Amino acid sequence: MNIVAKNIQLGSGKLTVMVKDSIDIQGIKTISGSRALEDTTPAARNAEVVEYILNADCTITAKTNLHELAFGITGINQAYGTPLNPRYPALIPGGSSSGSAAAVAANLADFTLGTDTGGSIRMPAACCGVYGLKPTFGRVSRKGVLPAQSSLDCVGPFANSVEMIETAMQIIDPTFTAQTLETSSSTAPKFAWLNVQANSEVSECIQDCLSQANLEVEQVEVETFKKAFDAGMQIINYENWQAYGELTKTGLIGADVQGRLLKTAETTLEQVQQAEQVKSEFTQEIDALLNKFDALLLPTLPQIPPKVADAENTVAFLNLTSLVRPFNLSGHPAISIPLETKQGLPVGLQIVTKRNADEHLCSIAKFVVKAAQ
């Protein structure tokens, strides 16, 4: 199914884990789904998160495929094949952590690891109908993860339940302690619904879920949301050119990623500095809302994921990240909860909480899932 980049057998624990092939495993080449990195030297040591996994009750069984160089949102990979979306085979698996999401959807692992710079965990989670968590920026170690330098990227887990997401976080973040939300009529969580643009079938599916859960939700506006989406792209472009610009000379990068990388060379330091100003403004606006509410709710994706046959042109679908990328800019933790329309199509509910409140985020997610049952 093109989910697995390389089968391996490390450790002998009860939990099975797969990791995205942008995360180092000692003795194995980290090629990030790109022929341009096939001649790279095998990793000299494990990424720190891999060490945590091996020191826990886990067995790593594979490295997973991804959108080339983790620079794409569809999950389509011309070099090594596109991972099949197990639950929605005609639809894209989502990128860039396509194989990690698909592996969980196919029940090939108890949990998997992906990375999220502009939505690359939450987006494939929504596409494949699984749970995906982008932790607070800096909360989980990126030591031994490509690209080596990033001001937005986060390592995080996929799983088929919030409880397994929590288990994964306790393993890869030694400071994480699972919580249970204590609620009563006087202490019910306060939710804000971010008024963002999304297709009616997505909005209706989420509103049905919130009604089923009997949640009281106050609608709010975020003035800098669109600016944050654009600013996040400027920073991603600039940093990806620094990381991978030299590879564009090899002639080995797929046409879609090659074209996007060459375009990133046009990003200026002045644009990055302007993006940093937007980052400050947007972060303050989200922080202010989260001082009033326990969590912010919004769709993970603004539309139903497109079919693989219609998604060859990555640039045409960049709007798919419009609701996820802003929270990479601000660094807030965000989780995608899988929902399904009455027509049997995937939708994600995104939940966001205060920075470094990842435990609270998971407890809120458990509360919402249970209430909606």
Q: How far apart are CA 76 and CA 85, in angstroms?
A: 11
- CA 141 – CA 47 distance, rounded (Å): 8
4-172 in CATH: which number? 3.90.1300.10
- Per-residue model confidence (pLDDT) at position 318: 76
Report the pLDDT value the prediction gives residue 315, as an integer from 0 to 100.
72
Q: Do domains 4-172 and 191-372 have the same CATH topology?
A: yes
Distance CA 288, CA 60 (A): 41
Residue 186 is predicted with a pLDDT of 62
- Write down the domain spans for the chain: 4-172, 191-372
Q: What is the mean pLDDT of each run of 10 residues along the chain (373 residues)?
A: 91 94 98 97 98 96 98 94 97 97 98 98 98 98 97 98 98 95 75 97 97 94 97 97 97 95 96 98 98 98 96 79 98 98 98 98 96 93
**CA max distance for the chain:** 62
Gyration radius (Cα) of the chain, Å:
19
Q: How many CB atoms lie within 10 A of CB 326?
A: 32
Reference 111, options 21, 7, 16, 13; nearest CA is 16
Q: Look at the alpha carbons of 331, 115, 1, 315 in this order and tell me if their dihedral is positive or negative.
A: positive
Pick the CATH number of 191-372 from 1.20.990.10, 3.40.50.970, 3.40.50.620, 3.90.1300.10: 3.90.1300.10
Phi and psi torsions of 113, nearest 5°: -110, 140
Instruction: Say what the pLDDT of residue 164 is.
Output: 98
Nearest to 58 by CA among 26, 27, 19, 21: 19
Give the per-residue pLDDT at 339.
98
Q: Give the C-alpha separation, 140 to 118, whole Å.
A: 16
224-229: which pairs have CB atoms within 8 A and are 24 or more residues apart? 224/278, 224/281, 224/282, 224/285, 225/194, 225/196, 225/282, 225/326, 227/278, 227/281, 227/282, 228/278, 228/279, 228/282, 228/325, 228/326, 228/329, 228/330, 229/321, 229/322, 229/325, 229/326
From CA 102, how far away is CA 282, in angstroms rounded? 32
Q: Number of helices and strands (H, E) in the chain?
A: 10, 11
Q: Enumerate residues 6+ apart whose C-beta is below 8 A from 268.
A: none
For the whole model, what pTM was predicted? 0.97
Axis-axis angle for helices 225-244, 269-290 (nearest 10)? 130
